[in-house]
A = this chain, B = another copy of it.
Amino acid sequence: MPGLLYIEKFGSSALTPDLVRRLEAATGKPAHHFLKRGIFFSHRELDRILTLVEQGKSFYLYTGRGPSSDAMHLGHLVPFLMTKWLQDVFDVPLVIQLTDDEKFLWKDLTLDQCHQMAYDNAKDIIAIGFDVNKTFIFSDLDYMAQCSEFYRNVLRVHKHVTYNQMRAIFGFDGSSNTGRIMFPPVQAVPAFSSSFPSIFGTREDVPCLIPCAIDQDPYFRMTRDVAPRLGLQKPSLLHSIFFPALQGAMSKMSASDPNSSIFLTDTQAQIKKKINKYAFSGGRDTVEEHRSLGADVEVDVSCMYLRFFEDDDQKYEETIDKYSRGELLTGEVKAHLIDVLQKLVLDHQERRKLVTDADRELFMTPRPLNFRPDALKSKQDKSTVNAS
């Protein structure tokens, strides 16, 4: 569903330039290009989080991933890159849920396979560069047996949702296995700070911001419905668009088709070959036509990928501009993209190699994190000074 339709249908809010500017003012940092370029395009009560920040109060971030046996692809990276940026600029704790239980319920896999996939994926996530002092990564299968508050919150959510409500949100029917009814509260409860006593102690009121792809919104609509009935805070949300397949935005990326996306395990040569061979082009049929009409950058996958991953605004805009005017040919734009992605993937692979089992164990151990409810005070004081 295109973004604006989603906003209309489910009542989230558009991420306006005004709100992005307010975020820049609150953090004192220029906005990430995901925010400026509409990759994160929708939100629920992000303004409430910004108000808290402006008041010198803190919050925490929550995002997650359904583990997969396959390497992560570029699309998987998007919410994590956004989340890392938010962690850096807001200096807040982050919890990352690996839903190995969900994968087991939906896929023809054993629990051990799903659990192992969560552990494999954790190294990729750590390689993105999260701060170990501010990040807790957990497998549901592990954490359920580590923290009694987790199951308690799952029960609290279940008590306040009816089958009819859940069906209206998630659309399953009577032939669905009951695990699919059991699971949604498991994804809901990391949005409540009381699920993490090792981080937040007995504080139930630490607000939560969830960066995620828009398809995860139903879980959090449910969470937001239930929260007030539990006397807890509604989480805020920041939604991204979907990441397009190489074959185009209407095509679906598929883990079983390695040519549908770029994976974080791809070699430099594979990246080059895939982009050159499969990235759907908005260029014209002949060079003459292209020079005169310019490319259709709206359907060109290389342009879409640059929108996600060329973080230099000037370079990005220049390429789009020249390509749309026919000054650049598809091959040249693809060369630009290949440069960007080869570097991104190589850097990731190098960081990934450095992630040890011991690193992972630390990230995945329930423990205190750097959580300073007053951490943002000084920033507020400063902004108060600026405002005066």
User: Footprint of B on A, CB under 8 Å?
Assistant: 101, 104-105, 111, 141-142, 144-148, 150-152, 154-156, 158-164, 166-167, 172-179, 181-182, 185
Taken together as a complex, chains A and B put the C-alpha atoms of A182 and B182 apart, in Å, by: 5
Taken together as a complex, chains A and B put the C-alpha atoms of A319 and B154 apart, in Å, by: 54
- Which residues of chain B are within 8 angstroms of A148 by Cβ–Cβ distance? 141-142, 144-145
- Which residues of chain B are within 8 angstroms of A181 by Cβ–Cβ distance? 163, 178, 181-182
- Which residues of chain B are within 8 angstroms of A162 by Cβ–Cβ distance? 174-178
- Which residues of chain B are within 8 angstroms of A146 by Cβ–Cβ distance? 145
Whether the Cβ atoms of A155 and B104 lie closer than 8 Å is yes
- Which residues of chain B are within 8 angstroms of A105 by Cβ–Cβ distance? 155, 158-159
Taken together as a complex, chains A and B put the C-alpha atoms of A101 and B160 apart, in Å, by: 14
Whether the Cβ atoms of B159 and A104 lie closer than 8 Å is yes
Within the complex, the shortest CB–CB distance from A144 to chain B, in Å, comes to 4
Known: A177-B161, A178-B185. A111 touches B167 (CB 8 A): no
Known: A104-B159, A145-B144, A155-B101. A175 touches B164 (CB 8 A): yes
Within the complex, the shortest CB–CB distance from A140 to chain B, in Å, comes to 8
Whether the Cβ atoms of A161 and B178 lie closer than 8 Å is yes
Closest to A150 in B: B145
Taken together as a complex, chains A and B put the C-alpha atoms of A219 and B22 apart, in Å, by: 55
Copies of the protein in its oligomer: 2
21 residue pairs A–B, Cβ–Cβ below 8 Å: A104-B155, A104-B159, A111-B152, A141-B148, A144-B144, A144-B148, A144-B151, A145-B148, A151-B151, A155-B179, A158-B182, A159-B179, A160-B177, A162-B175, A162-B176, A162-B177, A163-B175, A163-B176, A163-B178, A167-B174, A182-B182
Within the complex, the shortest CB–CB distance from A251 to chain B, in Å, comes to 31
Taken together as a complex, chains A and B put the C-alpha atoms of A101 and B144 apart, in Å, by: 14
Known contacts A144-B144, A181-B181; can you find 19 more A-B pairs with CB under 8 A?
A105-B155, A105-B159, A111-B152, A141-B152, A144-B148, A144-B151, A154-B182, A155-B182, A158-B179, A160-B177, A162-B174, A162-B175, A163-B163, A163-B175, A163-B177, A164-B174, A167-B174, A178-B181, A182-B182
Within the complex, the shortest CB–CB distance from A246 to chain B, in Å, comes to 34
- Which residues of chain B are within 8 angstroms of A182 by Cβ–Cβ distance? 154-155, 158, 178, 181-182, 185
- Which residues of chain B are within 8 angstroms of A173 by Cβ–Cβ distance? 163
Closest to A172 in B: B163
Whether the Cβ atoms of B174 and A111 lie closer than 8 Å is no
Taken together as a complex, chains A and B put the C-alpha atoms of A38 and B234 apart, in Å, by: 55
In the complex, the 9 A-B pairs of residues with the closest C-beta atoms, listed nearest first: A158-B179, A145-B148, A164-B174, A144-B151, A182-B182, A163-B174, A181-B181, A158-B178, A161-B178
- Which residues of chain B are within 8 angstroms of A156 by Cβ–Cβ distance? 111
Taken together as a complex, chains A and B put the C-alpha atoms of A351 and B376 apart, in Å, by: 59
Closest to A148 in B: B145
Kindly name the residue among A146, A156, A160, A179 whose own CB sees the greatest number of chain B CB atoms within 10 A.
A179
Taken together as a complex, chains A and B put the C-alpha atoms of A182 and B181 apart, in Å, by: 7
Taken together as a complex, chains A and B put the C-alpha atoms of A366 and B23 apart, in Å, by: 50
Taken together as a complex, chains A and B put the C-alpha atoms of A177 and B158 apart, in Å, by: 6
- Which residues of chain B are within 8 angstroms of A161 by Cβ–Cβ distance? 177-178
Kindly name the residue among A104, A154, A155, A172 whose own CB sees the greatest number of chain B CB atoms within 10 A.
A155
Closest to A146 in B: B145
- Which residues of chain B are within 8 angstroms of A160 by Cβ–Cβ distance? 177
Within the complex, the shortest CB–CB distance from A24 to chain B, in Å, comes to 41
Closest to A184 in B: B178
Whether the Cβ atoms of B159 and A177 lie closer than 8 Å is yes
- Which residues of chain B are within 8 angstroms of A158 by Cβ–Cβ distance? 105, 177-179, 182
